[in-house]
Amino acid sequence: MFTDNFWVQSIIHFNYFILFYIIFVNLVYTLLFLFSIRGIYIHRKKNRYWSYEDMIASSYTPPLSILVPCFNEAETIVDNIKALLSLEYGEFQLVIINDGSKDETLKVLMEEFDLHRVDMPYKKEISTKKVNRIYLSASSENIIVLDKENGGKADALNAGINVAEYPLITAIDADSIIERNSLVKVVRPFVENRDVVVSGGIVRPVNDAKISKGFIEKISLGKKSVVRFQVVEYLRAFLFGRIGWGMINSLMIVSGAFGVFNKKVVIEAGGYTEETIGEDMELVVKIHRLMKEKKKKYEIVFVPDPVCWTQVPEELKTLKNQRKRWHKGLMDTMLNHRGMLLNPKYGTVGLLGMPYFFFVEMLGPVIEIIGYIAILLSFWYGIISLEFALVFFAFAVVYGVFLSIGAILLDEYNFKKYNNISEYFTLVIYSVLENFGYRQLTTWWRFVAFWQYKRRGNKWGDMKRKAFSEKSQE
């Protein structure tokens, strides 16, 4: 079939490009993994001389405003708020933003926390949709609830920032639960280093865990395979991806489910961007850009210990929509700030962080899918040898297994969040299985999202929630 020597040589060269691209990506992952090992070592060393109980009682610990945006969260919002009220932290307030929910979110809040409407003036430093009413709780002095017109998650967060009274802010998703001492741990970098402007913690799936009074009593890997695959993904992404980038101050994303920000810097950066799907990454990149252009000394850090537990999709349709939305959000940020790409003006962010997210995370699914097709067809028609195909397979699949297992071992050695060693063995099995179908499926969804991308307004994601279980998962 392929008789034209020019086309055959072109296909061979393309196959080598795909192979070297995969090798390069794995080399980057390896370097991040090594950076992460060093980062966790430093973190463990610091913890030997530090007590979070002392920090809770310390007058140096800054007060914190916790923003809780919610849209149709009636099933989980009460558990979430009760958990937040019980957090071990000195001085904090909860700013709950009801973004025009169509279910009974506001009603359950009013009944559970005895809300009363107040006329409270505030400085509108960031433009948002109209705030219809403001409520204070008669049962808890540190709860304030905003009821506003629907404007999307970014708009809801900006409304919360306007009302927040403390110098640090954090946004906690309404379907998430954080550990009692997590806030102290994630705020600690602000106390240790005045240059820190953003600090992020780790996010883990909470599906099928036993929850009591808004807190986790027993961790579960989840009953469904799709949840267990995501546990492996989250460990890999956080335990060597984000730690590694944080070590060279090029962390480009702090999870919207759990990050602490300097409020003044967020306002100076313009707050959360409404016309984007990935508002969390967009804000972090805007802060990088602001601080670099103003030539201010700053740090954006990741702390591997503080944990936020969140529900993840249990159905493939929901997972597909989530991953497509994430990829489109990534594309928004990359295109919005393309002037930073390979620009030495932005230091390691412009020369390392942006190229990685542009060429590996954004373009990676396109190259990977086309690469799979090209390698398979080339082998089928005898253009490449079996040895070449096996080398490609080793770097594209087998090495991914090694990295996933490395992240799982890091977690078991350092944090031991799961109940027994058998659960870590289960994760090792899933870290192998995910490379034979699941990873290719998520890559395909991102590939489709790349070609479907177009600029559009921000929308809340279609994520099916369920009430947190109060029953033991035996």
- In percent, the amount of the chain with pLDDT more than 90 equals 49
Q: Please count the residues of the chain.
A: 474
Which tens digits make up the pLDDT trace of 29-66?
Answer: 889 988 988 888 888 887 777 777 777 777 778 999 99
Q: Quote the pTM value.
A: 0.89
Dist CA 368 CA 383 (whole Å): 19
Whether 352 shows a pLDDT value over 70: the answer reads yes
Dist CA 305 CA 353 (whole Å): 23
Mean predicted confidence (pLDDT) in 94-107: 94
Whether 459 shows a pLDDT value over 70: the answer reads no
Mean predicted confidence (pLDDT) in 121-139: 93
Which tens digits make up the pLDDT trace of 244-295?
Answer: 999 999 999 998 778 899 999 999 999 999 888 888 899 999 999 999 999 9
> Which helix (H) or strand (E) element contains residue 300?
strand 299-310
Return the axis-axis angle of helices 399-414 and 225-236, rounded to nearest 10°. Answer: 80
| Cα-Cα-Cα-Cα dihedral sign, residues 442, 446, 452, 458 | positive
Q: Strands 92-99 and 115-118, how do they pair?
A: unpaired
pLDDT at site 213: 67
The three-class DSSP label of residue 434 is helix
> Which helix (H) or strand (E) element contains residue 302?
strand 299-310
pLDDT at site 466: 60
Dist CA 427 CA 222 (whole Å): 11
Mean predicted confidence (pLDDT) in 5-15: 82
